[in-house]
């Protein structure tokens, strides 16, 4: 095999690898968006969701106050931030820190598991979070992504 | 000796805090209240020339800073907070704490909010976060645009910002704007004062009104941000021709004026124009920024005890800076990157002169030891050192035998945030 063919094969395999990686990390369907039951809306746009978690807004279109809660780490967290925020965890943490250390926003609440997210959302007015699709979310509202 | 013991104690603190620090998040008067902090310690070694006012040719750890902030959410729309910041970088800062920011923030709607108080100035990608080592890949940001020694010239203003976010349509991305005005910070412990002292001018005051605006566009192209900033400064200052501690009387000789002559100055024009671009694709991030600073200052000198002008002239400079960078996060714990930073002190002057440029190639590895504790290793390969008033890291006081045209530097930096 000559050099140009080997080069072509390398780029083809690299492209395929990225494709596979891309498919494997798109896990939005594995995540469920939940909200405190006092929030009236039953659906939310991906844009609104991103704006809430990036601390760009703290209210929904109908004026309801919202407060994001994140999981500290894990596959559900990774899946959510990649799918809906378009960032890696390192980039997201840098982003939050650049806000709190310039005074532009507070650090959002962070908890350790699905159960803790559900518990926090259930007892906190306006709270909105994410859990794995299979989690038992009795006591909170599941929001549809428009 | 005392300084060395203090620094060793600080290094011990830097090593211990990351393992135990947690942000404090609690209720105060039924309101959300948060306390956060950060600190960093660096070490710099240069092949030749002392850099950033440290004795780096012998290796220097005089590179420390920290910050502590508290903020409170009063209502959904109203919050306030303040941050204390202090640093000791060679001869800069010298452990004089300052109110880094302290303001009230009222957000009427997403498209308009107001901040009033001491507010970090929005200028380019990183002006307002330049002290926050833990959010950057680099141990030292590109010094062409974010010089450590000129930090106070742009870092904040005491005044008012109006800001907001506008989304004109689903397919047009979104725009973030900031419009501001206020009094810029004076810094008797910064590089500008040091740079002028190196030629025998002791500045007593230097500051004034600034106004500016920034517009950044998160484009519909995923990961692509572009923006532009403009800042106008209206500076007044006064000082005195002195012999420096090293007996430098360069300006006095140049102007044929006696020691003790009084200096006055004000801006005819002092404008910053900055354009920037950031593109993030998966774990790769590309950035480029360009800044032009055009200064036209009226300068006058009075003989000691006289109210008659002895010498007057306009000091005009047109500096241009830019950098391009690429960073790649290999894993959760490791990020690598490189940048190329250009600084031309005065554009119309011969750019090949080492007194008129500083070019810097840097390569970096950042290690995130925990989510709150990092270490960085960085190599710098610099060409040129700029003029005495360039304020880009090279000073006569630390280089009394003159400067050599090339400098290589190794920087190690560790820090924490909580």
| DSSP 8-state assignment for residue A104 | S
Separation in Å, CA of B81 to nearest CA in chain A: 6
Please judge whether B105 and A94 are an interchain contact, meaning their C-beta atoms are less than 8 angstroms apart: no
Please judge whether A103 and B103 are an interchain contact, meaning their C-beta atoms are less than 8 angstroms apart: yes
| pLDDT for position B389 | 83
| pLDDT for position A23 | 37
Spatial separation of the C-alpha atoms in residues B309 and B328, rounded to whole Å: 57
pLDDT exceeds cutoff 60 at A120: yes
pLDDT exceeds cutoff 80 at B113: yes
pLDDT exceeds cutoff 90 at B246: no
| pLDDT for position B255 | 86
pLDDT exceeds cutoff 70 at B145: yes
The rounded percent of chain B whose pLDDT value lies above 90 is 84
Q: What are phi and psi of A145, to 5 degrees?
A: -95, 120
Q: Which of residues 154-213 of B touch A (CB under 8 A)?
A: 165, 167, 170
Residues of A in contact with B73 (CB under 8 A): 106
* CA distances, B175 to each of B105, B164, B219 (Å): 20, 8, 8
Tens digit of each residue's pLDDT (9 = 90 or more) over B9-62: 666 666 656 555 566 788 888 888 999 999 999 999 999 999 999 999 999 999
Spatial separation of the C-alpha atoms in residues B122 and B120, rounded to whole Å: 6
Mean pLDDT of chain B: 93
Please judge whether B34 and A106 are an interchain contact, meaning their C-beta atoms are less than 8 angstroms apart: yes
pLDDT exceeds cutoff 70 at B127: yes
Mutate to test the interface with A, among B31, B132, B154 (most CBs of A within 10 A): B132
| DSSP 8-state assignment for residue B129 | G
| DSSP 8-state assignment for residue B142 | -
From the list A56, A91, A102, which residue is nearest B128 (CB)? A102
The contacts of residue B271 (CB under 8 Å, 6+ apart) are B230, B231, B232, B233, B293, B294
Beta carbons of A40 and A90 less than 8 angstroms apart? no
From the list A56, A86, A102, which residue is nearest B165 (CB)? A56
- When pLDDT is averaged across residues B108-115 and rounded to a whole number, the result is 97
A23 vs B417, more confident: B417
The contacts of residue B380 (CB under 8 Å, 6+ apart) are B140, B360, B361, B362, B407, B408, B409, B410, B411
| B16 token code pair | 């211990």
Spatial separation of the C-alpha atoms in residues B417 and B14, rounded to whole Å: 10
The mean-pLDDT minimum among A19-23, B235-239, B247-251, B392-396 falls in A19-23
Name which of B184, B145, B181, B147 is nearest B163 in CA terms: B181
| pLDDT for position B19 | 56
With residue A71 as reference, give the H or E element that holds it: strand A67-71
Note the residue count of chain B: 418
Tens digit of each residue's pLDDT (9 = 90 or more) over B265-282: 999 999 999 999 999 999
pLDDT exceeds cutoff 70 at A15: no
pLDDT exceeds cutoff 60 at B149: yes
Q: How confident is the model at residue B229 (pLDDT cuts 50, 70, 90)?
A: very high
pLDDT exceeds cutoff 60 at A12: no
| pLDDT for position B267 | 97
Spatial separation of the C-alpha atoms in residues B277 and B221, rounded to whole Å: 12
From the list A58, A100, A101, which residue is nearest B76 (CB)? A58
Comparing alpha-carbon positions, the chain A residue that sits nearest to B370 is A90
Label residue A90 left, alpha or beta by phi (over 0 means left) and psi (-120 to 50 means alpha): alpha
Q: What are phi and psi of B44, to 5 degrees?
A: -130, 130
Please judge whether A102 and B76 are an interchain contact, meaning their C-beta atoms are less than 8 angstroms apart: no
Name which of A60, A55, A69, A27 is nearest A42 in CA terms: A60
From the list A51, A65, A86, which residue is nearest B76 (CB)? A65
Q: How confident is the model at residue A24 (pLDDT cuts 50, 70, 90)?
A: very low
Tens digit of each residue's pLDDT (9 = 90 or more) over A62-98: 889 999 999 999 999 999 999 999 999 999 999 999 9
From the list B36, B103, B120, which residue is nearest A100 (CB)? B36
Name the CA dihedral angle for A127, A131, A135, A140, rounded to a multiple of 10 degrees: 10
SS3 B136: coil
Q: What is the distance of C-alpha B194 from the center of its chain?
A: 15
CB proximity B79 to A under 8 Å: yes
- When pLDDT is averaged across residues B352-363 and rounded to a whole number, the result is 97
| pLDDT for position B334 | 97
Please judge whether B132 and A86 are an interchain contact, meaning their C-beta atoms are less than 8 angstroms apart: no
The rounded percent of chain A whose pLDDT value lies above 90 is 76
- When pLDDT is averaged across residues B193-221 and rounded to a whole number, the result is 95
Residues of A in contact with B111 (CB under 8 A): none
Q: How confident is the model at residue B199 (pLDDT cuts 50, 70, 90)?
A: confident
pLDDT exceeds cutoff 90 at A6: no
pTM, 2 dp? 0.89
Name which of B241, B230, B154 is nearest B190 in CA terms: B154
- When pLDDT is averaged across residues B285-303 and rounded to a whole number, the result is 97
Please judge whether B71 and A100 are an interchain contact, meaning their C-beta atoms are less than 8 angstroms apart: yes
User: How many A×B Cβ pairs under 8 Å?
Assistant: 77
Q: What are phi and psi of A28, to 5 degrees?
A: -55, -35
pLDDT exceeds cutoff 70 at A5: no
Please judge whether B36 and A89 are an interchain contact, meaning their C-beta atoms are less than 8 angstroms apart: no
pLDDT exceeds cutoff 90 at B206: yes
Spatial separation of the C-alpha atoms in residues B135 and A100, rounded to whole Å: 11
Residues of B in contact with A58 (CB under 8 A): 76, 107
Q: How confident is the model at residue B137 (pLDDT cuts 50, 70, 90)?
A: very high
From the list B36, B115, B335, which residue is nearest A101 (CB)? B36
Q: How confident is the model at residue B251 (pLDDT cuts 50, 70, 90)?
A: confident
pLDDT exceeds cutoff 70 at A124: yes
Spatial separation of the C-alpha atoms in residues B376 and B364, rounded to whole Å: 7
């Amino acid at each position: 095999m000559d050099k140009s063919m080997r080069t072509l094969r390398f780029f083809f395999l690299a492209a395929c690898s990225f494709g596979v990686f891309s498919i494997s990390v798109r896990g939005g369907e594995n995540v469920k968006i939940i909200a405190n039951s006092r929030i009236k809306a039953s659906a939310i746009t991906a844009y609104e969701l991103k704006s809430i978690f990036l601390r760009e807004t703290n209210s929904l279109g109908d004026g309801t106050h919202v407060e994001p809660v994140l999981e500290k780490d894990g596959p559900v967290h990774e899946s959510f931030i990649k799918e809906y925020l378009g960032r890696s965890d390192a980039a997201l943490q840098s982003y939050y820190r650049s806000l709190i250390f310039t005074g532009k926003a507070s650090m959002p609440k962070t908890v350790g598991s699905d159960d803790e997210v559900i518990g926090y959302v259930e007892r906190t007015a306006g709270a909105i979070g994410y859990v794995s699709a299979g989690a038992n979310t009795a006591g909170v509202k599941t929001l549809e992504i428009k | 000796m005392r300084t060395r013991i203090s620094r060793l104690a600080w290094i011990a603190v830097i090593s211990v805090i990351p393992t135990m620090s947690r942000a404090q998040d609690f209720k105060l008067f039924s309101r959300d209240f948060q306390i956060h902090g950060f600190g960093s310690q660096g070490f710099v070694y240069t092949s030749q020339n002392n850099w950033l006012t440290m004795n780096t040719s012998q290796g220097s750890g005089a590179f420390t800073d920290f910050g502590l902030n508290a903020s409170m959410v009063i209502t959904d729309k109203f919050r306030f907070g303040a941050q204390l910041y202090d640093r000791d970088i060679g001869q800069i800062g010298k452990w004089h704490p300052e109110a880094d920011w302290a303001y009230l923030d009222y957000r009427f709607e997403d498209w308009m909010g107001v901040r009033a108080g001491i507010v970090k100035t929005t200028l380019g990608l990183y002006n307002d976060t330049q002290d926050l080592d833990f959010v950057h890949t680099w141990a030292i940001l590109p010094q062409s645009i974010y010089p450590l020694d000129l930090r106070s010239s742009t870092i904040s203003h005491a005044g008012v910002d109006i800001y907001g976010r506008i989304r004109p349509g689903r397919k047009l991305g979104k725009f973030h704007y900031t419009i501001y005005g206020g009094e810029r910070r004076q810094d008797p412990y910064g590089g500008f004062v040091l740079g002028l002292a190196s030629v025998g001018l002791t500045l007593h005051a230097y500051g004034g009104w600034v106004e500016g605006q920034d517009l950044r566009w998160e484009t519909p192209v995923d990961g692509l941000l572009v923006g532009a900033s403009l800042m106008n400064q209206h500076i007044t200052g006064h000082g005195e021709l002195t012999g420096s501690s090293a007996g430098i009387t360069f300006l006095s000789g140049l102007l044929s004026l006696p020691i003790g002559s009084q200096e006055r100055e004000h801006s005819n024009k002092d404008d910053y124009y900055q354009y920037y671009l950031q593109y993030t694709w998966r774990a790769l991030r590309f950035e480029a920024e360009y800044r032009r600073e055009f200064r036209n200052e009226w300068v006058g000198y009075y003989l000691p005890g006289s109210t008659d002008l002895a010498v007057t002239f306009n000091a005009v400079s047109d500096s241009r800076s830019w950098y391009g960078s690429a960073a790649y996060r290999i894993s959760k714990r490791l990020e690598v990157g490189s940048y190329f930073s250009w600084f031309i002190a005065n554009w119309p002057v011969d750019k090949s002169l080492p007194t008129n440029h500083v070019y810097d190639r840097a390569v970096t590895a950042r290690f995130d030891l925990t989510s709150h504790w990092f270490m960085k290793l960085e190599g710098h390969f610099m060409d040129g050192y700029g003029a005495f008033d360039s304020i880009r890291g090279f000073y006569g006081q630390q280089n009394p035998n003159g400067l050599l045209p090339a400098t290589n530097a190794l920087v190690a930096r560790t820090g924490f945030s909580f």
